[in-house]
Structure 1
Amino acid sequence: MELNDLNIRAIKPELVDRYGHSIQGDYFQGIESAYQYCFDVLTHKRHSGQAEYNACQRFLNDLNRVDIKLDLDLVEFVLIVANSLRHPKGPIAGEPFYLLPFMVFILSQMFGWHYTNEARETLRGQRRFIKTFWAVARGNSKTVVGAVASIVNMLLNENGNPIGTCSAPVQKQSRISFEDISTMIQKASPSIRKRFDCLSNEIRVKGGGKIIPTSSESKNLDGFRIAGLALCDEIHAHPDSSIIDVLSTGMQSSKDPQLLMITTAGIDTQSYGREMFDYACSIAAGEIENDRFLSVVYAVDKADEANWRDESVWAKANPALGHAVGLEALRAACVEADRSESARANFLTKHLNVWVDFSEAGFIAAIDLIECRDHDLSIDDFKGEDCYIGLDLASVSDLSALTYLFPKNDKLYVFQRSYLPRSALTGLKEKDSARYYNAQKAGELILTESEVTDMEYIKSDIVRATKTYNVKGLACDAAAGGVRFSAEMMDEYGIEMISVKQGFGLSDSAIRFQTRIKERTLVYNDSIYEWACVNALVKIGTFDDLFVHRPMDSTKKIDPLISSLIALSMIDDGESNDIFVGFI
């Protein structure tokens, strides 16, 4: 099939569906709607983001494969079921549920693709997609479409007594999804309604099976055999992968299992949700191969984030704009977003599906920091250059960080290395220990075999730096044994270090650092450093001075940031002019 074969409006301009909806409109109920949608995206008639474009290109490519086939009879069944349901809430509650083109695109792929006899023997006849990740801005009917998928799955399910689940980070959100399913069934046509009994805590399928809202605790899901659709909402708020992992394990022995993950973006760029978001985008782009994973992401592109007030980009994250999502409502939210950093973060995440890091007392906004990363930066290019070194030393067995600043050509490049005793990983959650192991692989972190902070390892790196670079200044925090460490460096190596007081003593460095980030005069390439920066909080003193500190959560470290502020305190902006900061 060629691209032009998808232009159904041109090929069959008079086509109407069983309800009288024309293919020329937005509510045609048929696979042709999905074809036309893809044509509009791929020819840029629809203003789409890159992830959406990639998903449509993947669909076109799939139509030309011989090892999979889109079962049009199944697609037709899915659409008939959806149209037999009714809107569960809002101003059109009780009205028939007609799918917009992007909804047809998602549901037809979830249920329609199957492996043919041209596929490897173990796949033949199986439904293709086991997992679906759908990210879209708020208000685009994702929970309701998820409810449709859950109902369709139960009607098609060939497993004995299948269990379908509604899961979320909090029980309340699980109930919302569950209640949407229940309401849609109760208002559905008699042919659908008679197949279910809707109770307060479960929806029973006559003949066997049920749909239930689940606990937000993954341990309470252990042992469930998930043979129905596992609907998992608000992935951005999941603290880790535990719920998804347990649901995935519970699906393994089922025929044609399905896991549907739906979400908007969130305010933690280091989270599991962001990890899955990036993974889904990579699959659609063909950067990662996973033929059993359907990726559909609606979000403004990276290049659009700085122009978030531009109405022309809003449709990228809102495929239901002009229908479920009102333009005037978005305009009002955009005006409100200028009120504060928190309002801006809310608009970007909820309405444009952009991931940001934000807290009320956040030191910097991750959306500004991430703009500054340069993946090609290397410390190997700075041998013999002027260098300032800052050290934030752990007291006993915590994270220590050594930062190298290089003023050059009116810019300032920053590289860091952190140190942590391997014993400190004991008892950490998997996601926290994985961060450190990944940093070790990237050369950003040294895991030492000592039980406490390995001072000798740090000393040897400082001595090596004095021989490799033209070190103009060395500074260490005055706390955590810093004064003793400085004395030992002088006694053992004749290297002088000055002590710098933390807290409000680093206010000037903190203010200059914030300025450089806002001006985009900072470039980094270090994940541990990025993590430390977005973890940092700030208090404002009586004289508008700043005190950078870490959160109450002791697993969120800021030491690499503090060491760079210590180093920055030795640099006079009057000498180095506009500072440009970069990292390993």
Structure 2
Amino acid sequence: MTSTTSQATGSRKRKARKVTRAVLAKKVPEAVLGHVSTIYALDVVEGKIPACKLRIAACQRHLDDLVYGPKRGLYFSIPRADHAIRFFGYLRHSTGKWGGQVFELANWQAFCTAVMFGWLWESTQKRRFRMAYIEVPRKNGKSTFLSPIGLYMMVADGEPGAQVYAAATKADQAKIVFDEAAKMARTSPVLRKRVRERAHHMEHPKSFSVFKYISADGKRLDGLNSHCNIIDEVHAHPNRLLIDVLRTGTGAREQPLTVEITTAGADPHSICREHHDYTVNVLKGLFENDGWFGFICSIDPGDDPFDEISWKKANPNYGISVFADGLKAEFKEAEDNPSALASKMRLYLNVWSQTSEIWLDIEKWRACETVYDRASMRGRRCYIGLDFGAVSDITALVLVFPPVDPGEPVKIMPFFWVPFGTIEKRRVDQAVPYDVWLRDGLIFQTEGTATNYDAIEHFIIGDDAGNTGLINEFEVMEVDYDRYFAGQLIQHLEERDVLCVACGQGFVSMAAPCRELERLVLEGSIAHDGNPVMDWMIANTAVKMDDSGNMRPIKPDTRKDMRKIDGVVAMLMALGRMISAEEDSNVISYEPGSMFG
């Protein structure tokens, strides 16, 4: 299979306008507008409940789907949502200050329950969400929230022979959720008549369903046919083995559910960090996955960890099981001992350790999306940035068009190549939808498992198959590339009289284009076509500064292997050369007598 020379645009879904209360009032039934899930989502989005941007994004996603979801075959079933919520009312807390009291869901727990169980596919009446990733700080009721979900999936979900597993790295940890569920079943007047408790599992004889606990150190992990997987403290898993076994064990079920709940971790290469990053991309709209539910509570970059408003933003159970006095004591210790601050922020504010801060605000970048016709750009002057990946990596080519008229934005046009033989492995190993991007024409494939530079060369200069090439479509001023790449492709371009300029990747070379890109994005003076691959790379890019404040793009500390920034690097090289060339063209040269005749 070879690359093509046209970029698909028709299949790409444009980002929906954010739904507001006024829009909902016109578009959804009054019962939906007054449902606990909608009320909570609106309170978070409108700022009535302090929340970080990711929690706001989770709530906004629910509101957006109430209006736009039906176009994708989705609908929100109040009876199904309320059925799950009511089940909690049959249970009682077993320990602590609420011991013996009826389980009453906190507003965020009711929201998550309603969304996980209320959204259905209209065509099948089956649940939309098969995977849920929930990340909150300590003491926010994680384990006691999981136990009822497991009981519901065993007793009340209508699945014959349901197998429910509470999972952890160690058997003792796995038993925490299981034992809490057993206590709830034992003290419930309704469930104790219907559930039998055994030494190592529970049974629901009427449906032939079971609830067991399982751990990574167990002897037998194969042969599972799970309907529900409950995984607590995912950040503690040293590898992906148990989680992958559990998720692949749901294949024979029509509407399985895996629920992961955790506090932020410290390992940037863990399965937990992979699922965190994927969830962030789903919540930001960078990845489209209607089967993945995400809910993350933390603070935002720049928030003061010692401020009470930050504590409220990060802790959804603030005032219920998390209190100001306790957090004051914890952060007082951190104030006196700065080395403890990172640990306190991870445990009590859900901030991942060892992370580099992302550079550009993805929402400001996306606000620069402009629909423009490629045909209208033909013949325009442009600079090509070309960032070559490793042997089997992504190659990015970005065209940067200088403004022609006053007030016109700088325009960019990105293209990407990936070896076809690596696409499936990338999709599985890196949790990035390369296969979807390929299907939608957002990336091109080249033959084999290594980068095929011939396909990229033909894309630029044309070939005998009728591809005209970029140099015939636009006025290509130069091709700008990493100076450490001196391959045959550059030699072939130069033989065709294409000016190729080697660019450095250090602070000196990247400082000016980094500053310019920052300015363009903040002022809305750059236009792009909303390519999801480029959006993803923007969201992956951090910067490193030298002592003089000069910047260069880098990958964040976390999951460097899956966070690609090639498109940003290519854009910066072309932007830097464009700045230099445009400045040179504006220099007034001195000619004797030319000024005054």
* Map of 1:13 onto structure 2: none
Write the mapping of 1:545-560 to structure 2, written as runs, cut at 5 A. Answer: 548=553, 554=561, 556-560=563-567
2:318 to 310, 321, 329: 321
Distance 1:234 1:474, change over 3 A: same
Secondary structure (helix, strand or coil) at the match of 2:484 reads: coil
1:226 aligns with 2:226: yes
* Map of 1:569 onto structure 2: 576
1:79 aligns with 2:89: yes
Distance 1:217 1:513, change over 3 A: farther
* C-alpha distance in 2 between matches for 1:282 and 1:226: 25
Write the mapping of 1:21-32 to structure 2, written as runs, cut at 5 A. Answer: none
Aligned length: 507
1:457 to 443, 455, 458: 455
Task: Report if aligned partners of 2:146, 2:177 keep a CA contact under 8 Å in 1.
Answer: no
Distance 1:276 1:476, change over 3 A: closer
* Map of 2:492 onto structure 1: 488
TM-score, normalized by length of structure 2? 0.61
* C-alpha distance in 2 between matches for 1:537 and 1:43: 32
Distance 1:449 1:330, change over 3 A: same
Deviation at 1:420, TM superposition (A): 3.3
* C-alpha distance in 2 between matches for 1:350 and 1:69: 35
1:47 aligns with 2:48: yes
Q: C-alpha root-mean-square deviation of aligned residues, in Å? A: 6.0
* Map of 1:165 onto structure 2: 165
Task: Report if aligned partners of 1:78, 1:108 keep a CA contact under 8 Å in 2.
Answer: no
Secondary structure (helix, strand or coil) at the match of 1:372 reads: helix
Deviation at 1:365, TM superposition (A): 0.5
* C-alpha distance in 2 between matches for 1:111 and 1:511: 41
TM-score, normalized by length of structure 1? 0.63
1:467 to 455, 469, 472: 472
* C-alpha distance in 1 between matches for 2:457 and 2:65: 53
* C-alpha distance in 2 between matches for 1:425 and 1:134: 25
* C-alpha distance in 1 between matches for 2:484 and 2:554: 14
Deviation at 1:147, TM superposition (A): 1.0
1:387 aligns with 2:390: no
* Map of 1:11 onto structure 2: none
Task: Report if aligned partners of 2:482, 2:502 keep a CA contact under 8 Å in 1.
Answer: yes
Task: Report if aligned partners of 2:537, 2:563 keep a CA contact under 8 Å in 1.
Answer: yes
* Map of 1:248 onto structure 2: 250
Task: Report if aligned partners of 1:239, 1:271 keep a CA contact under 8 Å in 2.
Answer: no
Task: Report if aligned partners of 2:510, 2:551 keep a CA contact under 8 Å in 1.
Answer: yes
Deviation at 1:277, TM superposition (A): 5.1
Secondary structure (helix, strand or coil) at the match of 1:249 reads: coil
Deviation at 1:477, TM superposition (A): 2.2
Write the mapping of 1:492-571 to structure 2, written as runs, cut at 5 A. Answer: 493-503=496-506, 506-509=509-512, 511-512=514-515, 515-516=518-519, 519=522, 524=528, 525-535=530-540, 548=553, 554=561, 556-571=563-578
Task: Report if aligned partners of 1:40, 1:46 keep a CA contact under 8 Å in 2.
Answer: no
1:405 to 400, 403, 409: 400
* Map of 2:213 onto structure 1: 213
* C-alpha distance in 1 between matches for 2:64 and 2:470: 50
* Map of 2:466 onto structure 1: none
Distance 1:576 1:261, change over 3 A: farther
CA distances 1:497-518 after superposition (whole Å, capped 9, x unpaired): 1222344563425642674488
Distance 1:575 1:298, change over 3 A: same
Using the aligned pairs only, state the percent identity. 17
Deviation at 1:179, TM superposition (A): 0.6
2:470 is matched by which residue type in structure 1? A
* C-alpha distance in 2 between matches for 1:449 and 1:108: 46
CA distances 1:416-474 after superposition (whole Å, capped 9, x unpaired): 22233334447545355963333334444321236654444333433433333343333
Task: Report if aligned partners of 2:537, 2:564 keep a CA contact under 8 Å in 1.
Answer: yes
Task: Report if aligned partners of 1:182, 1:203 keep a CA contact under 8 Å in 2.
Answer: no
Task: Report if aligned partners of 2:399, 2:412 keep a CA contact under 8 Å in 1.
Answer: yes
